[in-house]
Amino acid sequence: MSDEGSSAADGAARIAELEGALAVRRDEGLARTRRTVEAPQGRVVTVDGHDLLSFASNDYLGLANDPALVEAARAAALRRGVGAGASHLVCGHTDLHEALERELAQFSAPCADARALTFSSGYLANLAILTALAGRGDAVFADRLDHACLNDGALLSRADLVRYAHADADALAHRMRASAARRKLVATDAVFSMDGDLAPLPRLLDLAREHDAWLVVDDAHGFGVLGEGRGSLAHFGLASQRIVYMGTLGKAAGVAGAFVAAHPAVIETMLQTARPYIYTTAAPAMLAAALRAALRIIRDDTARRAHLFALIARFREGARGLPWPLLPSPTAIQPLVCGDSAAAVALSERLRERGVWVPAIRPPTVPAGTARLRVSLTAAHTAADVDRLLAELREAA
Ligand SMILES: Cc1ncc(COP(=O)(O)O)c(C=O)c1O
């Protein structure tokens, strides 16, 4: 190593550049921090030694620490160990993954004879869908409030990314008509992750039919919750071979990962060509075992959803008099819009000092000027928990 290479000055300009950018982020109130949780997910979690009533997780059905899931994972770990060893196409694909895929395809099929493919995360699943189905010369039409990974998938595919006004099917129609792209693909969150509202899926499917386009439905926040747990397609009663359905398994399903359910030709194309599927290690079989247990609960335990929807109604009723506008969300995601980032952070901090955890969500995750508290309700909460949150919000107002 040269003298220069070993000196403290080596790389200093590059480091200073990063530190300058981080300081700007802090000054603008946009620095992100992590809190270290020392307990399982649930209505109450321990953070830095303090118990907090949590409205922060996407564990909508309260499954992340469910005994049936934990036992399924434990039993599978004892039989199969904890590591998958390699990618699905090398030696990481097991009978437990295979069974899970079959069960998911049956439960949330977007068309007759659908197949499913599992992924380690929803982020990877969206990258895989977009890169498998779109390429140079094609156009991906995306809602302005789509999750970042749909947009990233579109960018990675090299198709043109055309964004349309949030949940505005007329704006989409206009943009699709104006496009001369060879192939078209419409990509949307079904339940918008930071707003909780629903995409107008029936109209989007009509437009996809009119333009012979794919419709990619990201149901990260609808699977397990809407349509008797089957998700947003069942909620709207939609089915088509042109729908590519993506559900995540780390939110309502309580574990980790994601799946794509679609026509067998779509699934086989992804298996053969999608780099985010091919070039990554499979999720451990023990997670597939836990997910099969989760799927049974999602299918059979309708009381959890009924309880969750009662809590949603209770919260919306109680939040009416608050100074922060409530968005038109019928789902477990109930944002309170504060506007200013600093105001959202201050409100979140104040609640935390009072033992209630509601994260502040700021730009660029949400549009500038719409920083918010993202209240997330779960079936693990009680009516008294919701009342306590409302009381603390009233107090803070
Ligand atoms: C709408 C949406 N799509 C995809 C994802 C990514 O899923 P995952 O967390 O499994 O990577 C998320 C969550 O973070 C999401 O909210």
Nearest ligand 1 atom, CA 123: 11
**CATH dotted code for 67-300:** 3.40.640.10
The pLDDT-based confidence of 17 (bands split at 50, 70, 90) is: very high
Instruction: Quote the mean pLDDT of the chain.
Output: 96
Q: How far is the CA of 125 from the centre of ligand 1 (A)?
A: 9
Q: How many CA atoms lie within 13 A of 163 on its CB side?
A: 14
Q: pLDDT digit string (tens) for 126-162?
A: 999 999 999 999 999 999 999 999 999 999 999 999 9
Q: pLDDT digit string (tens) for 344-363?
A: 999 999 999 999 999 999 99
Residue 35 sits at the vertex; the CA angle it makes with 29 and 36, to the nearest 5 degrees, is: 160
Q: How many CA atoms lie within 13 A of 352 on its CB side?
A: 19
Residue 2, both tokens: 């040269």
Q: pTM of the full predicted structure?
A: 0.96
Q: pLDDT digit string (tens) for 68-118?
A: 999 999 999 999 999 999 999 999 999 999 999 999 999 999 999 999 999
The answer to whether the CB of 76 is under 6 A from ligand 1 is no
The answer to whether the CB of 248 is under 6 A from ligand 1 is yes
Is 147 catalytic? The answer is no
Count of beta carbons in the 10 Å neighbourhood of residue 209: 12
Q: Where are the domains of the chain?
A: 32-61+301-396, 67-300
Say what the pLDDT of residue 1 is: 47
The residue to which tokens 């949150």 are assigned = 389
Active-site pick, 251, 263, 307, 381: 251
The answer to whether the CB of 258 is under 6 A from ligand 1 is yes
The answer to whether the CB of 143 is under 6 A from ligand 1 is no
Say what the pLDDT of residue 313 is: 98
The answer to whether the CB of 219 is under 6 A from ligand 1 is no
Q: Pick the closest to residue 149 from 139, 137, 161, 138 (CA basis).
A: 161
Q: Pick the closest to residue 250 from 215, 224, 216, 213 (CA basis).
A: 224
The answer to whether the CB of 149 is under 6 A from ligand 1 is yes
Q: How far is the CA of 386 from the centre of ligand 1 (A)?
A: 25
The residue to which tokens 């026509």 are assigned = 263
The answer to whether the CB of 276 is under 6 A from ligand 1 is no
Asked if the model's pLDDT at residue 283 lies above 80, the reply is yes
The pLDDT-based confidence of 4 (bands split at 50, 70, 90) is: low
Contact 125, 259 (CB under 8 A): yes
Percent of the chain at pLDDT exceeding 70: 98
If you count them, how many residues does the chain have? 397
Q: How far is the CA of 286 from the centre of ligand 1 (A)?
A: 21
The answer to whether the CB of 122 is under 6 A from ligand 1 is yes
Following DSSP, what letter does each residue of 105-129 receive, concatenated? HHHT-SSTT-EEEEES-HHHHHHHH
Alpha-carbon 243 to chain mean position: 18
Choice from 120, 123, 246 to test ligand 1 binding pocket (greatest atom count within 8 A of CB)? 123
Residue nearest to atom 16 of ligand 1 (CA): 193
Q: How many CA atoms lie within 13 A of 250 on its CB side?
A: 12
Residue 397, both tokens: 């107002």
CATH topology of domain 32-61+301-396: Aspartate Aminotransferase, domain 1 (3.90.1150)
Is 193 catalytic? The answer is yes
Residue nearest to atom 9 of ligand 1 (CA): 122
- The secondary structure of residue 394, as a DSSP letter, is H
Choice from 166, 226, 248 to test ligand 1 binding pocket (greatest atom count within 8 A of CB)? 248
Ordered strands of the 243-248 beta sheet: 115-119, 258-262, 243-248, 214-218, 184-189, 139-143, 160-164
* 3-class secondary structure per residue, 73-95: HHHHHHHHCCCCCCEHHHHHCCH
Q: pLDDT digit string (tens) for 378-395?
A: 999 999 999 999 999 999
Across the chain, the runs of DSSP E, i.e. the strands, are 44-47, 50-54, 115-119, 139-143, 160-164, 184-189, 214-218, 243-248, 258-262, 333-339, 356-357, 360-361, 371-376
Residue nearest to atom 15 of ligand 1 (CA): 220
Nearest ligand 1 atom, CA 189: 1
Is 251 catalytic? The answer is yes
